[in-house]
Structure 1
Amino acid sequence: MKKLKIGIVGGSGYTAGELLRLLIHHPNTEIDFVFSTTNAGKPLHVAHADLMGESEVLFTDTVNPDVDVLFLCLGHGRSRAFLEANEFSEATKVIDLGNDFRLLVDKEFQGRDFVYGLPELNKEAIVKAKNIANPGCFATAIQHALLPLANASKINDAVHVNATTGSTGAGVSLSATTHFSWRDNNFSSYKVFSHQHLGEINQSAKQLQNNHDQPIFFIPNRGNFSRGIYATVYTKFEGTVEQAVKLYQDFYNDATFIVISETPIALKQVVNTNKCILHVDVKDGMILVTSVIDNLVKGASGQAIHNMNLMFGLEEKTGLNLKSSAF
Structure 2
Amino acid sequence: MKIKTAVIGAAGYTGGELLRLLVHHPEVEISYIHSNSQKGRKLEEVHPDLIGESTLVFTDVVSTSELDAVFLCLPHGETRPFLEKHSFGGSTVIIDLSTDFRNETNGFVYGLPEVNRDTIQNSKKIANPGCFATGIQLALAPSVAAGFTEGAALHITGITGSTGAGKKLSEPTHFSHRNDNVSIYKLFTHQHLTEIKQTFGQLNDSFTNDLLFVPYRGNFTRGIWITAYFPFSGSLEEAYETYEDFYSEAAFTHISRLDIDLKQVVNTNKCLVHLKKEAGQLVIYSAIDNLLKGASGQAVQNLNLAFGLDEKSGLRLKSTVF
Secondary structure of the structure 2 residue equivalent to 1:149? helix
The CA deviation string for residues 237-292 of structure 1, in whole angstroms up to 9 with x for no partner, is: 12111111111001000101011111111100000000000001112221000000
The CA deviation string for residues 277-316 of structure 1, in whole angstroms up to 9 with x for no partner, is: 0001112221000000000000000000000000000000
Residues 1:151 and 2:145 are matched in the alignment: yes
Secondary structure of the structure 1 residue equivalent to 2:318? coil
Q: 2:187: which partner in 1? A: 192
Moved more, 151-160 or 192-201: 151-160
Secondary structure of the structure 2 residue equivalent to 1:45? helix
Instruction: Give how far 1:153 is off.
Output: 1.5
TM-score with structure 1 setting the length:
0.97
Runs of 4+ in structure 1 off by over 3 angstroms are none
Secondary structure of the structure 2 residue equivalent to 1:203? helix
Pairs within 5 Å for 1:1-327? 2-66=1-65, 67-104=67-104, 107-108=105-106, 113-156=107-150, 157-327=152-322
Contact 1:244 1:281 in 2 (8 A): no
| Aligned partner letter, 1:47 | V
Secondary structure of the structure 2 residue equivalent to 1:41? coil
| Aligned partner letter, 1:30 | E
| Aligned partner letter, 1:19 | L
Task: Provide the rounded CA distance (Å) in 2 between the counterparts of 1:210 and 1:91.
Answer: 33
Instruction: Give how far 1:325 is off.
Output: 1.6
Q: What percentage of residue pairs aligned between the two structures are identical?
A: 52
Task: Provide the rounded CA distance (Å) in 1 between the counterparts of 2:10 and 2:317.
Answer: 22
Secondary structure of the structure 2 residue equivalent to 1:177? helix
Task: Provide the rounded CA distance (Å) in 1 between the counterparts of 2:121 and 2:83.
Answer: 23
Secondary structure of the structure 2 residue equivalent to 1:161? strand
Task: Provide the rounded CA distance (Å) in 2 between the counterparts of 1:12 and 1:282.
Answer: 44
Instruction: Give how far 1:88 is off.
Output: 1.4
Instruction: Give how far 1:150 is off.
Output: 1.2
Instruction: Give how far 1:64 is off.
Output: 2.0
RMSD of aligned Cα (Å): 0.7
Instruction: Give how far 1:91 is off.
Output: 1.3
Moved more, 95-104 or 62-71: 62-71
Q: Structure 2 regions of 5+ residues with no counterpart?
A: none
TM-score with structure 2 setting the length:
0.98
Instruction: Give how far 1:137 is off.
Output: 0.2
Task: Provide the rounded CA distance (Å) in 1 between the counterparts of 2:250 and 2:161.
Answer: 25
Q: Structure 1 regions of 5+ residues with no counterpart?
A: none
The CA deviation string for residues 121-164 of structure 1, in whole angstroms up to 9 with x for no partner, is: 00010000010000000000000011101111221200000000
Secondary structure of the structure 2 residue equivalent to 1:76? coil
Contact 1:244 1:282 in 2 (8 A): no
Moved more, 47-56 or 160-169: 47-56
Task: Provide the rounded CA distance (Å) in 1 between the counterparts of 2:110 and 2:97.
Answer: 11
Task: Provide the rounded CA distance (Å) in 1 between the counterparts of 2:175 and 2:166.
Answer: 14
Contact 1:269 1:324 in 2 (8 A): yes
Instruction: Give how far 1:38 is off.
Output: 1.0
Task: Provide the rounded CA distance (Å) in 2 between the counterparts of 1:206 and 1:85.
Answer: 33
Secondary structure of the structure 1 residue equivalent to 2:274? strand
